[in-house]
């Protein structure tokens, strides 16, 4: 203990002693005091888990069950997998593949470009770097609705419409501002001497970026990567605009595909929608549990500090 | 070596934009309207439809492999679809690039179709149908509905032809000793009787943009009280929705809402729920178009039985100049063709559609279209036949409340319909909000 | 040594990919759209120069005013809710659950992953009144309170929207802020405890000041997201009833793409961008010391 002056120590001792003496009482009191917290924790768990259960049950219900029975009712037929068949026929496997094709390359680009730019803006020393950082920061504030029309026009003119490229490029660009900003902040926390030790000249600086700086950022990369992943995976607006011919067609992502379970005049086919969501959630859940340990460590180790 | 100044960075940025500009200039010759083809002898026939309505695509697919197998063989169908909510946006983006597909479902907003036509993007079928040798392909009534919708231009093919009115549950009415009402006042009385007996009189949807079935009541009330040209006067600017005679229509609906005739919470009810409420016998009246025949004839959905459903024309309003035999009619979202992409492929398909769509649509999908049906079809459901009879005997038709509105006024009208039906918005407020968007 | 870190070629290699992509696919389109603010028209009709009339129109547009008010109300409520509940969760993790918190953190984090369409479907069912009575209204009835039509008025619908978006993201902010709390050295807290601080006072006087920079970051992060809300409201209420829950982004989207007024839509988007900028600057300024410390 850093405050190891005599008076404090004596207080510590007294406190510890008194605590030891009244132990049974304190423990009991402590448990009572903690009861509300335990309750809160349980409520929290229910609030978080019930929706998942509801989704799963919903995927087994027929349209008429949705319409005519209470929301919390159990499915009448536990082996009703017709919704999954419908969802599968509507092409959710294709949608999933499209989402993967659009999101993961973008994610890789965002991270590589973002870390490099963060390094250039924070570790490297040059005039104007603050201006460029601010330029990136400004990008966080641009609503993506604003860039839709010009981008659509350009993609069309250079014949990218009908491919996955518009999504990948747009995702990468919209993900960069936040990533660059956060990476720059992470690098700020690392003493420059660390890179100096590994660097002799300009050429080896690049190498030390790859071999020293990049690995040091692993936790930060996981954190930012996760945040970006959810942004991109859940994107509806850009996907709607750039996946020319959506719904049952070749380019629709998962989110766009989910919209296709609406009948005419906006009537929702609840069962197949739920089934499609369940498949989607299951895959994300697997991915999430797989990455979770890593991510939690990343987010804990590299808090976003301004 | 602190030499990289901001000006360098700016140079990079400028260089980048120059590169973009160059790439734009290089490609500004314009994109080809159709997608690339796999075989050199065939040209794909691109069709753009809605996720929510696969009937058109199904019928076209069936035509391609059946009736028109020989004539359109060189122009294979390439169908894609958008969600209805994003449809108009996509059409605008495509039209802006001069890249409309050969055949498309018309936009949600008739005003947008007129705009496209003014810009010279659409085929006029009056000429085109005679060119392919099928000048009489359309039912005159359907053609006139399309024309009145688009400022007199025949730019849409009526792949649906619908009449609208009040469907009612015969058993509920007879159980409560109510004879089918024919005037608005009789309806009001029937509503009161039903509500007192614990029956929800009407099933309506008012959630989000699903409120159009409520504004149909408003519009039809106005057509009955002020005559079939009432909404044309609003479009021409010679009358305003805020005029007392127009507000009366919204007030009449709002009064029903306040009295509880539309159920507990119309703002929570979407289209499918409203349909289900009626088809499970939980409401006596239901305003809907004849496209719902598919649901009515579906024994899984319809638990009250098709022969238990009756049709009433929209009621007269006492002292009004309109009449109940002016049946509200529409052509769904008519099919349109791009002028830029119009060529031998489009012509072959147009000929095919003109001669065969009506029969295939009715026999395979049970959907009544505005095309003349060249063969007789046996074993049509009784309710469908009944609707065909009403169509054939109706002397004239009217459009609907929002038909001549801008997209913005349409959105406002249909979104505010829920609160109107719930009685939380007064008729005057409703009309003022819509009129504000009409300018 | 300094010279190495100023090597121009290295800087260009590192910075160019990001800057180029960002400039081409965001800044240029942004400036392009800014140009549209001086025009009236659509892609189909073509554009005509109208000077500043789009800007004066924003000030007289009743709907734009309503949308701005709603956006601000939403952003403030959700940001406060997200960060506050997130912070409480983080406190729970650090001081109560401790080592056992991993599984709870994982579970509360998970709603962020759910598709918007799924979450909105869930909440519209939870708060349903007709045709069947949903769980929330059943609970109200059991407590002797009248069941409510949650989507019948703007203020009620707002409660559902707020509940949904806070529920969805509090776990995310919990983990984010947890990271800041964990970094507070144990001995600082221990010695404060020994000085008699406990519970609320400990949190307010020791924990909060020490984790303040992370909180500010979270607030900036949150407010920029909430000012730009689109998906969740679009999927849950579609902006209704009437216009009452329409945020600026949705209004902009409708104006540009449904009503075909692209110039005016861009002007609305610019208004939103300026709002984001102002809010960020204010937060940035007011906590500059914490951030640069």
Establish if A67 touches chain B: CB-CB under 8 angstroms: yes
Identify the weakest region by mean pLDDT among A139-153, A234-248, B346-360, C268-282: A234-248
Establish if B412 touches chain C: CB-CB under 8 angstroms: yes
pLDDT exceeds cutoff 90 at B105: yes
- pLDDT range class, residue B199, cuts 50, 70, 90: very high
Residues C232 and C168 occupy one common structural domain: yes
Question: By residue range, what is the domain housing residue C7?
Answer: 1-27
All chains having 3 or more CB pairs closer than 8 angstroms to chain A? B, C
Residue C5 within any structural domain of the chain:
yes
Q: Of the spans A74-78, A159-163, C177-181, C266-270, which averages the highest pLDDT?
A: C266-270
pLDDT exceeds cutoff 80 at C101: no
Higher per-residue confidence, A247 vs C279: C279
Q: Supply the pLDDT for residue A16.
A: 40
Q: Supply the pLDDT for residue B72.
A: 92
The pLDDT tens digits for A107-159 are 999 999 999 999 999 888 888 888 898 889 888 888 888 888 889 888 888 88
- pLDDT range class, residue A198, cuts 50, 70, 90: low
- pLDDT range class, residue B28, cuts 50, 70, 90: very low
Residues C18 and C138 occupy one common structural domain: no
Residues C104 and C18 occupy one common structural domain: no
Closest residue to B115, CB basis, from C7, C45, C62: C45
Establish if B433 touches chain C: CB-CB under 8 angstroms: yes
Domain ranges of chain B: 45-156+332-369, 163-330+397-438
The pLDDT tens digits for A14-65 are 344 444 444 455 555 566 666 777 888 888 888 888 878 888 888 888 877 8
The whole-number average pLDDT for the span B32-54 is 67
Establish if B48 touches chain A: CB-CB under 8 angstroms: yes
Asked if C111 lies within 8 A of A284 by C-beta distance, the reply is: no
| Phi, psi of B149, deg, nearest 5 | -75, -35
ipTM value, please give it: 0.78
Closest residue to B4, CB basis, from A126, A157, A246: A126
All chains having 3 or more CB pairs closer than 8 angstroms to chain C? A, B
Q: Supply the pLDDT for residue B32.
A: 37
Chain A residue with CA closest to C94: the answer is A300
Q: Supply the pLDDT for residue B316.
A: 95
**B337 HSE (CA, 13 A, CB side):** 25
Identify the weakest region by mean pLDDT among A90-94, A280-284, B319-323, C198-202: C198-202
| Phi, psi of B323, deg, nearest 5 | -140, 155
Closest residue to B89, CB basis, from C16, C239, C257: C257
Q: Give how far Cα C161 sits from Cα of A47, A270, C148, Å.
A: 16, 21, 15
The pLDDT tens digits for B172-197 are 999 999 999 999 999 999 999 999 99
Residues C258 and C206 occupy one common structural domain: yes
- Give the dihedral of Cα atoms A15, A20, A26, A27; nearest 10 deg: 130
The whole-number average pLDDT for the span C16-28 is 94
Dihedral over Cα of C170, C172, C175, C176: its sign: negative
The pLDDT tens digits for C103-144 are 788 788 878 878 887 788 888 888 888 777 888 888 888 888
Q: Supply the pLDDT for residue B22.
A: 38
The whole-number average pLDDT for the span B303-323 is 93
* Residue C155 C-alpha, separation from nearest chain A C-alpha, in angstroms: 23
Residues C23 and C136 occupy one common structural domain: no
The whole-number average pLDDT for the span B320-328 is 92
Domain ranges of chain A: 6-58, 82-301
CB A255 within 8 A of CB C117: yes
Over the Cα atoms of chain A, what is R_g?
Answer: 26
Could you check whether B45-156+332-369 and B163-330+397-438 share the same CATH topology?
yes
The CATH H-level (homologous superfamily) assignment of domain A82-301 is MetI-like (1.10.3720.10)
Chain C residue with CA closest to B413: the answer is C242
Query: What's the rounded Cα separation, in Å, for the pair B215 and B420?
Result: 9
Q: Pick the residue of C18, C210, C221 with the most A CBs within 10 A to test the interface with A by mutation.
A: C18
CATH number at C118 reads 1.10.3720.10
Asked if A116 lies within 8 A of C17 by C-beta distance, the reply is: yes
The whole-number average pLDDT for the span C214-234 is 84
The pLDDT tens digits for B208-228 are 778 899 999 999 999 999 999
What is the pTM (predicted TM-score) of this model? Answer: 0.81
User: Measured at the alpha carbon of residue B138, what is the angle toward residues B224 and B120, in degrees to the nearest 5?
Assistant: 90
Higher per-residue confidence, A112 vs C280: A112
Q: Supply the pLDDT for residue A8.
A: 34
Asked if A153 lies within 8 A of B20 by C-beta distance, the reply is: no
Residues C14 and C100 occupy one common structural domain: no
Asked if B419 lies within 8 A of C45 by C-beta distance, the reply is: no
Per-window interface: C 121-180 vs B, CB < 8 A = 128-131, 149-153
Establish if B81 touches chain A: CB-CB under 8 angstroms: yes
Question: Residue B124 contacts by C-beta under 8 Å, 6 or more apart in sequence?
Answer: B153, B154, B155
Q: Supply the pLDDT for residue C73.
A: 95
Asked if B416 lies within 8 A of C242 by C-beta distance, the reply is: yes
Residues C78 and C178 occupy one common structural domain: yes
Q: Supply the pLDDT for residue A170.
A: 95
Residues C15 and C152 occupy one common structural domain: no
Looking at the 3D structure of chain C, how many domains does it have? 2
Tell me the CATH number for domain B45-156+332-369.
Answer: 3.40.190.10
- For B163-330+397-438, CATH number out of 3.40.1030.10, 3.30.420.10, 3.40.190.10, 3.30.2130.10 equals 3.40.190.10
């Amino acid at each position: 203990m850093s405050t190891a002056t005599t008076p404090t120590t004596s207080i510590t001792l007294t406190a510890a002693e008194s605590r030891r003496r009244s132990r049974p009482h304190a423990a009991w009191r402590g448990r009572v005091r903690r009861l509300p917290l335990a309750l809160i924790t349980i409520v929290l768990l229910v609030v978080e888990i019930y929706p998942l259960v509801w989704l799963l049950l919903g995927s087994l219900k027929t349209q008429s069950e949705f319409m005519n029975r209470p929301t919390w009712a159990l499915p009448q037929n536990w082996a009703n997998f017709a919704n999954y068949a419908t969802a599968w026929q509507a092409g959710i496997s294709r949608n999933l593949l499209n989402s993967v094709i659009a999101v993961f390359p973008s994610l890789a680009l965002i991270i590589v470009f973002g870390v490099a730019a963060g390094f250039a803006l924070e570790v490297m020393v040059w005039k104007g770097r603050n201006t460029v950082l601010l330029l990136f920061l400004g990008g966080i504030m641009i609503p993506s609705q604003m860039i839709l029309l010009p981008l659509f026009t350009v993609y069309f003119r250079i014949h990218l419409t009908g491919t996955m490229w518009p999504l990948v490029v747009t995702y990468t660009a919209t993900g960069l501002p936040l990533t660059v900003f956060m990476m720059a902040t992470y690098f700020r926390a690392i003493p420059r001497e660390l890179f100096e030790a590994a660097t002799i000249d300009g050429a080896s600086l690049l190498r030390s970026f790859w071999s020293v700086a990049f690995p040091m950022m692993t936790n930060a990369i996981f954190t930012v990567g996760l945040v970006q992943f959810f942004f991109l995976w859940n994107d509806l607006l850009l996907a709607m605009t750039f996946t020319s011919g959506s719904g049952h067609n070749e380019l629709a992502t998962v989110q766009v595909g989910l919209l296709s379970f609406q009948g005419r005049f906006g009537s929702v086919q609840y069962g197949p929608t739920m089934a499609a969501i369940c498949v989607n959630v299951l895959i994300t859940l697997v991915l999430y549990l797989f990455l979770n340990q890593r991510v939690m460590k990343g987010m804990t180790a590299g808090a976003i500090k301004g | 070596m602190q030499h990289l100044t901001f000006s360098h960075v700016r140079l990079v940025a400028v260089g980048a934009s120059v590169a973009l500009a160059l790439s734009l200039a290089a490609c500004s010759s314009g994109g080809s309207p159709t997608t690339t083809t796999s075989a050199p002898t065939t040209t794909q026939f691109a069709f753009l439809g809605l996720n929510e309505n696969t009937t058109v695509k199904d019928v076209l697919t069936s035509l391609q492999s059946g009736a028109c197998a020989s004539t359109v063989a060189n122009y294979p169908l390439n169908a894609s679809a958008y969600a209805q909510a994003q449809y108009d946006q996509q059409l605008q983006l495509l039209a802006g690039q001069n890249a409309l597909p050969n055949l498309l479902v018309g936009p949600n907003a008739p005003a947008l179709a007129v705009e496209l036509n003014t810009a010279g993007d659409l085929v006029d079928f009056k000429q085109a149908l005679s060119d392919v040798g099928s000048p009489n392909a359309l039912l005159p009534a359907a053609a006139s509905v399309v024309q009145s919708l688009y400022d007199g231009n025949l730019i849409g093919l009526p792949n649906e032809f619908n009449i609208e009115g009040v469907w009612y549950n015969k058993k509920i009415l007879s159980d409560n000793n109510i004879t089918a009402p024919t005037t608005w006042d009789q309806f009001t009385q029937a509503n009161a009787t039903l509500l007192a007996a614990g029956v929800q009189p009407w099933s309506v949807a008012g959630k989000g943009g699903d409120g159009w079935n409520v504004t149909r009541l408003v519009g039809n009330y106005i057509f009955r009280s002020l005559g079939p040209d009432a909404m044309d006067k609003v479009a021409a600017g010679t009358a305003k929705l805020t005029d007392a005679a127009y507000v009366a229509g919204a007030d009449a609906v709002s009064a029903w809402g306040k009295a509880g005739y539309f159920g507990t919470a119309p703002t929570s009810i979407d289209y499918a729920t409203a349909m289900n409420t009626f088809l499970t016998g939980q409401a006596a009246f239901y305003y809907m178009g004849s496209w719902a025949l598919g649901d009515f004839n579906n024994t899984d959905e319809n638990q009250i039985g098709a022969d238990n459903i009756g049709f009433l024309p929209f009621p007269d309003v006492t002292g009004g100049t309109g009449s109940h035999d002016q049946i509200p009619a529409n052509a769904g979202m008519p099919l349109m063709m791009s002028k830029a992409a119009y060529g031998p492929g489009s012509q072959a398909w147009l000929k095919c559609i003109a001669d065969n769509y009506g029969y295939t649509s009715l026999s395979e999908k049970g959907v009544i279209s505005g095309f003349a049906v060249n063969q007789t079809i046996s074993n049509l459901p009784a309710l469908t036949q009944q609707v065909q009879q009403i169509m054939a005997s109706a002397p004239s038709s009217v459009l609907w409340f929002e038909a001549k509105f801008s997209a913005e006024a349409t959105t406002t009208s249909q979104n505010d319909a829920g609160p109107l039906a719930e009685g939380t918005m007064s008729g005057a407020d409703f009309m003022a909000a819509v009129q504000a968007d009409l300018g | 040594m300094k010279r190495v870190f100023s090597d121009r070629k290295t800087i260009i290699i590192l910075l160019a990919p990001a800057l180029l992509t960002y400039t081409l696919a965001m800044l240029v389109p942004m400036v392009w759209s800014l140009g549209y603010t001086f025009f009236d028209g659509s892609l189909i009709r073509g554009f005509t120069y109208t000077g500043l009339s789009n800007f004066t129109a924003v000030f007289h547009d009743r709907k734009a005013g309503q949308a701005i008010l709603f956006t601000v109300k939403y952003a403030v409520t959700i940001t406060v809710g997200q960060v506050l509940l997130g912070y409480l969760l983080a406190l729970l993790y650090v001081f109560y659950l401790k080592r056992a918190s991993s599984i709870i953190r994982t579970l509360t984090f998970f709603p962020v992953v759910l598709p918007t369409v799924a979450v909105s479907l869930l909440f519209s069912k939870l708060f349903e009144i007709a045709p069947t009575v949903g769980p929330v209204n059943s609970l109200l009835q059991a407590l002797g309170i009248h069941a409510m039509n949650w989507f019948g008025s703007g203020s009620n619908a707002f409660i559902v929207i707020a509940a949904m978006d806070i529920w969805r993201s509090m776990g995310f902010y919990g983990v984010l802020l947890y990271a800041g709390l964990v970094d507070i050295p144990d001995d600082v807290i221990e010695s404060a405890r020994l000085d008699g601080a406990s519970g609320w006072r400990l949190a307010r006087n020791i924990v909060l000041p020490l984790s303040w920079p992370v909180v500010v970051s979270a607030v900036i992060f949150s407010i920029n997201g909430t000012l730009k809300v689109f998906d969740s409201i679009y999927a849950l209420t579609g902006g209704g009833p009437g216009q009452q829950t329409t945020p600026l982004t949705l209004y902009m989207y409708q104006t540009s793409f449904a009503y075909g007024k692209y110039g005016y839509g861009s002007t609305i988007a610019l208004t939103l961008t300026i709002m984001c900028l102002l809010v960020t600057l204010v937060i940035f300024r007011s906590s500059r010391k914490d951030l640069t410390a």
